[in-house]
């Protein structure tokens, strides 16, 4: 076994708190925090010396001195003890002249004077016993849980859906219990260990990653984070039952269409042929360990990257007439399997139909693009020839002195301007119309149906007819404005 020094430090913190209890202190627990308390008459310095042994794990300290109705409060401020701001009080009637000066300095914020001021004192410290271990091993969340019975009580008193904050988080959670055994139980996201555990064998981060496409309900723990993957025979049955029931609750929640937290229940809704809902209790379903395991197996079967499995399960649940379904996981799975096969058969037919229709759509767009490009090129040729014929007539008329030179030049400029307008129109209006459909085909084909894979989409957009239509369209889109501009320049320079 490998004993890490910082784990021994945590053990020492536990022993130090026990020593305080033996010296007359009392200890209360708030979930995973220890709160040792003590009351005495004397100075505050004696108590601060007694808690020096647990200083590395202290999160907060509150010291209150009382003299009749007058109180002096000392608090942990920025990691060290200090005098809290005090209201104005009449010290003259509370302290006699022999200690008046010391009291004035204490109530003015002098820590040493406050610690040495005799009176009736009470101290309460907040202690995170595993704090030093967590500081040395920041990749995990370390928690001192006391005993298995205490851990069981804490988990039972928390609604199972709030375990996400405790277990299903970014770090692997480690719960330390007062036992000499090593690994007691664990999942992908947490471990319950005794003092003799091999620390290097523990995961460092949570590895829970729901499968792609699986519907994960918000704010609820995942099945993988709660399902026990290791379980020693020394685990107490109440703790085992609590963890299994929480995992089963998360499993049924993962299968639900919707979840609403209502008081001490999570209302799980399943929508299939009908819409039904069931209330999941605070501590999880009241079912056997075998039924809990079947519940998690049902959720894992639904999470195998097959959306139709989840749909089949919801269809079966929606037709169930039992008041509760938590113990029926195995029956639901058997009933869902033929439904899944039927859905999968329909899905295959739908997929083939979608691919066929997508290919036909691609070929239709290619044909329409080619026709539009041909029409644009044909129109450009006709307009260019007509303009050149008109300019040729102007040149002949000018050479024959039928029209003045000024009028001929004006007509030539008008012809060139007309060609420039046509080039702009072709560039910004007709061109995008011609290439728009064939350009958008690559992205649109992936949205045509959920059954079309990326590889199939690449095949459709790479068809020879589609590729040729795309090249033809872009060639025409570039050539037509270029031809208009070139003809305009020729018209302006002709007969000069």
Three-state secondary structure call for residue 368: helix
**Residue range 26-56, pLDDT digits in tens:** 988 887 888 899 999 999 988 888 888 888 8
- Residue 30 phi, psi (nearest 5): -120, 100
Q: pLDDT class for 494, splitting at 50, 70, 90?
A: low
Q: pLDDT class for 211, splitting at 50, 70, 90?
A: very low
Beta bridge partners of 117: none
Average pLDDT over residues 404-417: 82
pLDDT of residue 496: 54
Helix or strand (DSSP H, E) at 173: strand 172-177
Does pLDDT of 4 surpass 70? no
The rounded distance, in Å, linking the Cα atoms of 302 and 308 is 8
Q: Which residues contact 475 (CB under 8 A, 6 or more apart)?
A: 373
Does pLDDT of 1 surpass 60? no
**DSSP-assigned states of every residue in 139-164:** TEEEEEEESHHHHHHHHHHS-GGGHH
pLDDT of residue 213: 40
Q: Alpha helix (H) ranges present in 303-430?
A: 307-318, 329-399, 405-425
pLDDT of residue 194: 85
pLDDT of residue 344: 67
Average pLDDT over residues 312-330: 89
Q: Which residues contact 272 (CB under 8 A, 6 or more apart)?
A: 311, 314, 315, 316, 317, 318, 319
Lowest mean pLDDT among 157-166, 226-235, 263-272, 354-363: 354-363
Does pLDDT of 433 surpass 90? no
Q: Which residues contact 74 (CB under 8 A, 6 or more apart)?
A: 44, 61, 62, 63, 64, 65, 81, 82, 83, 84, 111, 114, 115
CA 253 distance to own-chain centroid: 17
Q: pLDDT class for 179, splitting at 50, 70, 90?
A: confident
Give the strands of the sheet with 265-271, arranged side by side.
Answer: 258-262, 265-271, 275-280
Q: pLDDT class for 246, splitting at 50, 70, 90?
A: very high
**Residue range 305-316, pLDDT digits in tens:** 677 888 889 989
Q: Which residues contact 50 (CB under 8 A, 6 or more apart)?
A: 20, 23, 25, 38
**Residue range 437-451, pLDDT digits in tens:** 888 887 777 676 655
The rounded distance, in Å, linking the Cα atoms of 173 and 164 is 11
What integer best gives the mean pLDDT of the chain? 82
Domain boundaries, the chain: 5-133, 137-327, 350-493
Q: pLDDT class for 343, splitting at 50, 70, 90?
A: low
Question: Which residue has better confidence, 465 or 443?
Answer: 465
The rounded distance, in Å, linking the Cα atoms of 48 and 53 is 10
**Residue range 13-26, pLDDT digits in tens:** 888 888 888 888 99
Question: Which residue has better confidence, 348 or 466?
Answer: 466
- What count of other Cβ atoms lies within 10 Å of the Cβ of residue 85? 8
Average pLDDT over residues 360-373: 84
Question: Which residue has better confidence, 99 or 449?
Answer: 99
Please tell me the number of Cα atoms within 13 Å of 84 on its side-chain side: 12
**DSSP-assigned states of every residue in 195-247:** TT--GGGS-SB----PPTT--PPTTS--HHHHS-SEE-TTS-HHHHHHHHHHH
pLDDT of residue 242: 92
Three-state secondary structure call for residue 74: strand
């Amino acid at each position: 076994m490998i004993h890490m020094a910082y784990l021994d430090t945590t053990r020492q913190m536990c022993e130090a708190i026990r020593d305080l209890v033996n010296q007359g202190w009392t200890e209360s627990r708030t979930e995973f925090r220890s709160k040792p308390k003590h009351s005495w008459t004397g100075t505050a310095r004696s108590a601060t010396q007694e808690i020096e042994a647990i200083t590395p794990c202290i999160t907060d300290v509150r010291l209150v001195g009382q003299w009749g109705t007058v109180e002096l409060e000392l608090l942990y401020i920025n990691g060290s003890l200090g005098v809290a701001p005090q209201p104005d009080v009449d010290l003259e009637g509370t302290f006699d002249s022999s200690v008046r000066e010391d009291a004035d300095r204490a109530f003015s914020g002098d820590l040493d004077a406050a610690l040495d001021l005799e009176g009736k004192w009470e101290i309460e410290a907040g202690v995170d016993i595993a704090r030093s271990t967590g500081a040395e091993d920041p990749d995990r969340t370390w928690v001192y849980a006391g005993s298995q019975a205490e851990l069981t009580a804490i988990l039972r008193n928390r609604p199972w859906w709030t375990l996400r904050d405790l277990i299903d988080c970014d770090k692997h959670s480690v719960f330390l219990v007062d036992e000499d055994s090593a690994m007691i139980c664990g999942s992908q996201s947490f471990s319950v260990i005794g003092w003799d555990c091999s620390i290097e064998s523990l995961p460092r981060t949570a590895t829970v990653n729901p499968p792609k496409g699986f519907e994960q309900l918000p704010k609820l723990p995942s099945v993988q984070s709660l399902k026990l993957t290791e379980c020693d025979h020394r685990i107490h049955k109440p703790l085992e039952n609590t963890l299994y029931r929480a995992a089963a609750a998360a499993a049924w929640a993962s299968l639900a269409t919707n979840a609403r937290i209502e008081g001490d229940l999570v209302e799980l809704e399943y929508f299939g042929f009908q819409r039904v809902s069931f209330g999941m209790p605070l501590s999880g379903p009241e079912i056997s360990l075998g039924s809990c395991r079947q519940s998690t197996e049902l959720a894992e079967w639904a999470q195998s990257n097959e959306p139709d499995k989840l749909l089949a399960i919801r269809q079966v649940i929606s037709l169930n007439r039992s008041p509760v379904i938590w113990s029926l996981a195995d029956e639901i799975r058997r009933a869902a399997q033929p439904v899944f096969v039927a859905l999968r058969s329909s899905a295959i037919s739908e997929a083939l139909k979608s691919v066929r229709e997508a290919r036909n759509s691609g070929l239709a767009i290619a044909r329409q693009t080619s026709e539009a490009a041909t029409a644009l090129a044909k129109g450009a040729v006709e307009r260019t020839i007509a303009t050149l014929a008109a300019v040729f007539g102007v040149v002949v008329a000018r050479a024959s002195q039928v029209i003045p030179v000024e009028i001929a030049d004006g007509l030539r400029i008008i012809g060139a301007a007309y060609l420039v307008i046509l080039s702009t129109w072709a560039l910004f209006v007709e061109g995008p119309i011609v290439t728009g459909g064939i350009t958008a085909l690559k992205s649109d084909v992936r949205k045509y149906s959920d059954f079309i894979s990326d590889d199939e989409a690449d095949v459709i957009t790479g068809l020879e007819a589609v590729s040729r239509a795309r090249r033809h369209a872009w060639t025409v889109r570039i050539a037509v404005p270029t031809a208009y501009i070139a003809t305009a320049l020729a018209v302006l320079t002709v007969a000069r």
